[in-house]
Amino acid sequence: MAFFATKEPLLLSLLLAIGFFVVAASAGNFYESFDITWGDGRANILENGQLLTCTLDKTSGSGFQSKKEYLYGKIDMKLKLVAGNSAGTVTAYYLSSKGATWDEIDFEFLGNLTGQPYTIHTNVFTGGKGDREMQFHLWFDPTADFHTYTVHWNPINIIFLVDGIPIRVFKNNEKHGVAFPKIQPMKIYSSLWEADDWATQGGRVKIDWSNAPFKASYRNFNDQSSCSRTSNATWVSCDANNNSWMWTTLTPHQYGQMKWVQDEYMIYNYCTDYKRFPQGLAKECNKLE
Ligand SMILES: *[C@@H]1O[C@H](CO)[C@@H](O)[C@H](O)[C@H]1NC(C)=O
Ligand SMILES: *[C@@H]1O[C@H](CO)[C@@H](O)[C@H](O)[C@H]1NC(C)=O
Ligand SMILES: *[C@@H]1O[C@H](CO)[C@@H](O)[C@H](O)[C@H]1NC(C)=O
């Protein structure tokens, strides 16, 4: 069943042939790429579309979503997370399709007390089923400056990268009966909200509202390497047959980088949690070839 590698380019060529070509409108402009969807004025686009901020106070969080939906892409966003005492706050940044059997690719940033490390939480849902959490600390302070968080999703794998360093790969293991997101287009969503019942140190540390409003900032959105469409069913600006992102996986060097991150900074891996999955770990946790 390994024929997707030859089938997919045909499908994409077809989509390209019947679709419009739209020159990717200035990457990075938040006005052009996103709609603010939540928060009653707490999320704002600033600096002529170069900066977006989400805030959270006792009344509400805030959030936004992409105008386009994507079926594969290497999508970059720079984030600067809530500084200081961010315990109980969660900044979610993810791709998701719609419906009861949705697919989803998640980054979530769980705040912490001042001086304690943020946790990056990652997950992959296929057909509405997740339970594939991997969590990491970071090798830098993600509140001091902007850093790039990338979802690289192609027919071979989904790679999570931080400043270009892969931290996790979810491989396409369809031939072993593991579902892989490849049909349902996804939009990009992000929000800043309160989740102090579980987010920080297992929910033991609560949010301190005296620090509100909390703020997360976004810059340098880049979706130029992607297949996307606006809400009408016309595929646009996809360079799938001539690029380096659609058919690539990690290089040996990148595997080395990922091993470093996972050895040094990974704090949770669903693939080693026998206690939580007494009936057996997920199939993809076995060494599959
Ligand atoms: C917060 O800090 C504690 C102590 O260093 C750490 O165990 C935890 O993983 C950090 N992150 C969260 C979200 O609790
Ligand atoms: C979708 O198509 C309809 C009808 O052709 C058009 O009125 C509308 O503006 C289109 N929407 C987008 C987002 O392109
Ligand atoms: C493929 O991409 C390269 C570099 O981006 C470009 O120079 C070349 O013209 C492209 N070829 C086609 C057929 O689009």
The atom of ligand 2 lying closest to the CA of 231 is 13
* 108 assigned to active site: yes
**3-state SS string over the chain?**
CCCHHHHHHHHHHHHHHHCCCCCCCCCCCHHHHEEEEECCCCEEEEHHHCEEEEEECCCCCEEEEEEEEEEEEEEEEEEECCCCCCCCEEEEEEEECCCCCCCEEEEEEECCCCCCCCEEEEEEEECCECCCCEEECCCCCCCCCCEEEEEEECCCEEEEEECCEEEEEEECCHHHCCCCCCCCCEEEEEEEEECCCCCCHHHCCCCCHHHCCEEEEEEEEEEEEEEEECCCCCEECCCCCCCCCCCCCCCHHHHHHHHHHHHHHEEEEHHHCCCCCCCCCCHHHCCCC
The CA 231 to ligand 2 mean position distance, Å, reads: 8
Residues flanking ligand 2, CB < 6 Å? 230-232
Q: 232 CA distance to ligand 2 centroid (A)?
A: 6
All structural domains of the chain: 26-285 (2.60.120.200)
pTM for the full predicted model? 0.86
Per-residue pLDDT tens for 39-76?
Answer: 999 999 999 999 999 999 999 999 999 999 999 999 99
Nearest ligand to residue 245 Cα? 3
Residue nearest to atom 8 of ligand 1 (CA): 201
Task: Tell me which of 8, 69, 108, 284 is the catalytic residue.
Answer: 108
What pLDDT, on a 0 to 100 scale, did the predictor assign at position 6? 34
Q: Which has the minimum average pLDDT: 7-11, 221-225, 251-255?
A: 7-11
